């Protein structure tokens, strides 16, 4: 698998889609783990429209070896770099009847272990005992996100829509998007494929219209060290 094309695509456009990263059997094994988990924990969010697990790799550690197969390890090493590690993981399940809509936005926060005063870190939020903060721009620019698709996803069941190259424009407020110069791209991803994205890429998703579910594992990676008073809440060195 030659990854240089995808690496350049991400650098230029802020995203890329790579097919066949997981086999049918691997997806089935991940799905089996998900089907047998205890869904009552406080980091789990469950509604008619969405089921989500924050700190996914911490909460479901038995899935880790299934996710970090040789293809994913190769992507981390050759596209991101040897020094990258996991800093955030979330599992999303949009059920078949979900009408969940996500407006265009950038991912501007990181997950950390506690709330504390630190220069250039602000806009603190807390969700389900998870602290999030907006870091300096250079930290956001260095993050990569891998979105692993457990189902076929297209424009009819909430595939991400993105604005190519928007990641290179710093903090880009959605209300200032100039559609005379920007274009929208729908990221169709087949089951077992991945979408890689820079968090500053403007992205959103439409409601599901075809009655098909969309399950996605979202994992963020960084190579940045935080100020000594802060720690990444999910820092894990992936064995490559």
The larger pLDDT score, comparing residue 162 to residue 50, is at 162
- Nearest C-alpha neighbor of 173 from the set 220, 103, 122: 103
| Tens-digit pLDDT profile for residues 92-143 | 887 655 566 789 999 999 999 999 988 999 999 997 778 999 999 999 999 9
Domain 4-222 matching CATH 2.60.120.620: the answer reads: yes
Greatest distance between any 2 Cα atoms in the chain: 48
Q: In 95-230, where do the E strands start and end?
A: 102-105, 110-112, 122-127, 130-134, 144-149, 160-162, 185-186, 194-197, 203-205, 214-222
Q: Where are the chain's structural domains?
A: 4-222
Residue 211 Ramachandran class (φ > 0 left, ψ -120 to 50 alpha, else beta): left
Structure tokens at 64: 């880790």
| Tens-digit pLDDT profile for residues 180-234 | 999 999 999 999 999 999 999 999 998 777 778 889 999 999 999 999 999 999 9
DSSP state of 210: S
Query: Residue 35: its pLDDT value, please?
Result: 83
pLDDT band, very low/low/confident/very high, at 1 (cuts 50, 70, 90): confident
**36: pLDDT strictly greater than 90:** no
| Tens-digit pLDDT profile for residues 144-160 | 999 999 999 998 888 99
Find the helix or strand (DSSP H, E) in which 54 lies: strand 51-54
Q: Mark out the alpha helices in the chain (DSSP H runs).
A: 4-13, 24-35, 56-59, 64-67, 70-75, 137-141
Q: What are phi and psi of 13, to 5 degrees?
A: -110, -15
Residues 120, 136 contacting (CB under 8 angstroms) = yes
């Amino acid at each position: 698998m030659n990854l240089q094309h995808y690496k350049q695509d991400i650098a230029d456009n802020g995203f890329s889609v790579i097919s066949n990263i997981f086999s049918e059997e691997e997806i089935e094994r991940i799905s089996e783990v998900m089907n047998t988990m205890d869904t009552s924990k406080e980091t789990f969010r469950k509604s008619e429209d969405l089921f989500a697990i924050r700190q996914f790799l911490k909460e479901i550690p038995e899935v880790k070896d299934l996710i970090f197969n040789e293809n994913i390890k190769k992507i981390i090493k050759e596209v991101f770099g040897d020094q990258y590690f996991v800093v955030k993981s979330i599992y999303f399940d949009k059920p078949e009847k979900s009408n969940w809509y996500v407006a265009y936005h950038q991912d501007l926060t990181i997950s950390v272990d506690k709330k504390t005063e630190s220069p250039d870190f602000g806009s603190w939020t807390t969700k389900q005992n998870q602290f999030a903060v907006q870091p300096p721009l250079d930290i956001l620019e260095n993050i990569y996100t891998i979105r692993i698709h457990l189902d076929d996803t297209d424009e009819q069941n909430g595939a991400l829509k993105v604005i190519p190259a928007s990641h290179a424009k710093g903090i880009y407020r959605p209300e200032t998007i100039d559609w005379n110069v920007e274009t929208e791209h729908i990221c169709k991803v087949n089951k077992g494929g991945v979408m890689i994205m820079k968090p500053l890429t403007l992205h959103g998703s439409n409601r599901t219209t075809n009655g098909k579910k969309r399950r996605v594992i979202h994992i963020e990676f960084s190579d940045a060290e935080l100020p000594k008073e802060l720690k990444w809440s999910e820092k894990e060195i992936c064995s490559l």
